[in-house]
Amino acid sequence: MLCLWADLKARSDTSAMSAEEGTERRDRLYAAVCESSVAVLAGRFVEHVAGRHTLTCLDVCHSLEQSTPLLLLHLIVRKGSRNRLDSGLQQTYGDHTRMLAFAIDRMAAGDTSWLADRVWKGVVMPEHTISRCIQDFLDLALDRGQQLALWLAASLHDYGKLHGRRSGLDPEDGVVLVEQLLARVEPVQDFLALVLFAVRNHDVIESVTTGEAPPSFISEQLDTLPAGQRRLALALVGVIQLAGAASLGTGRIVPSKVAIYDKCLDASITAEVPTADRARALCSAVDRGEHHFATLAVDDRQAIIRDEQARDLLGRIVLHGWDDLRDEAWAKYGDQAFPVLNGALEVLARASASAGMPIRHLVIDGTARSRLLADADAAARYLTVLQDRALNGEYYLTVR
């Protein structure tokens, strides 16, 4: 497995890979799975679902680390002081995943005190808010199969990072890697779709609240699930969001994360948003604070949507890198950032329309950000647009 890790590090930018090389990397991750250990784990899943044995989320996480490349997440360090542990050590993605699993177990135990201790330093959050969040989770009354779906999604939510694709597209690879991994685990098949939905949307769900992703990206996926699983699928994503915030650094639960959790549990996060409202959100400032989670400060100005290309982008496409562009624009131009960002949206809409294929993701890299902020109209003549596909077949564009 260490040889696999050395290869992953050596070829960490998948944008330079051919489709064949990407497939080879996927297959190497699959080949590193210990089949005998997974068979034992599958047997434990059967016993849990039947009620003859009781597992926890942390049990599942540990077992997957012992039998799959999930263990390699302990070699990927999360950057920034906000991801530093009390000990002074920098947290890894493996640390984060284990703590997320433990947070879910503490929520299941009704441990309000533990979860309250994971609120971001300096944030005032009444204990009754934390208590209510836990009660809402308990009220889901997950059966043992649904518990297992949540635990697997939580443990494997960042598994796509092992493929190496950057710019926030790792969940699009992750669903393929996780499906391939779990295909041999028979007890999981009845709720595999729930696991994959949560893996794919555990990050992008936050982007819905800040305008960077249209709600249709989520709702269209929900429509492919059995009707009886749709509310549950959203709820599992909400739980992973809240437990995930608790797992980061010394704890990063903030009001915006609680709001996402609530909107997932009541399904309001998929409510349709008019394109004009999404455009306004994308051009508005955000307050990040030291915890780095975005709280939108909606501007009262109306963004200009000139043509069908812009409406298509606003209605369908997830923007990656827009958060950095928006932050830089407001830092550089202050109150004049709104029209600057509005102009950048129009340029990106024309770029996406030139693709000639149904893309769902558009990545804005650092060079493109600089050009768009300097002069969006001039940037339109010099930007380079590259096309690629994630492992799940979704097309995306990178604008440079």
Does residue 286 sit in the same domain as residue 264? no
At position 109, the amino acid (one-letter code) is A
Q: Looking at residues 33-59, what average pLDDT do you find?
A: 95
Out of 269, 298, 313, a domain closes at 269
- Residue 176's alpha-carbon distances to 30, 157, 162, 172, 182, in angstroms, are 11, 12, 12, 7, 10
Out of 235, 253, 269, a domain closes at 269
Does residue 44 sit in the same domain as residue 154? yes
Number of domains in the chain: 2
Does residue 283 sit in the same domain as residue 339? yes
Does residue 28 sit in the same domain as residue 105? yes
Does residue 256 sit in the same domain as residue 371? no
Out of 207, 237, 269, a domain closes at 269
pLDDT value of residue 173: 96
Does residue 302 sit in the same domain as residue 186? no
Give pLDDT tens digits for 74-132.
999 999 999 999 999 999 999 999 999 999 999 999 999 999 999 999 899 999 999 99
Q: Looking at residues 296-304, what average pLDDT do you find?
A: 90
pLDDT value of residue 126: 96
Give pLDDT tens digits for 338-387.
999 999 999 999 889 888 788 999 999 999 999 999 998 888 888 899 99
Please say whether the beta carbons of 8 and 162 come within 8 A: yes
Does residue 77 sit in the same domain as residue 173? yes
Does residue 193 sit in the same domain as residue 222? yes
For residue 14, is pLDDT > 60?
Answer: no
pLDDT value of residue 357: 82
Query: Residue 377's domain spans which residues?
Result: 275-399
Does residue 56 sit in the same domain as residue 178? yes
Does residue 297 sit in the same domain as residue 340? yes
Does residue 32 sit in the same domain as residue 92? yes
Give pLDDT tens digits for 124-180.
999 999 999 999 999 999 999 999 999 999 999 999 999 988 889 999 999 999 999
Give pLDDT tens digits for 144-158.
999 999 999 999 999
Does residue 230 sit in the same domain as residue 307? no
Percent of the chain clearing pLDDT 90 (strictly above)? 80
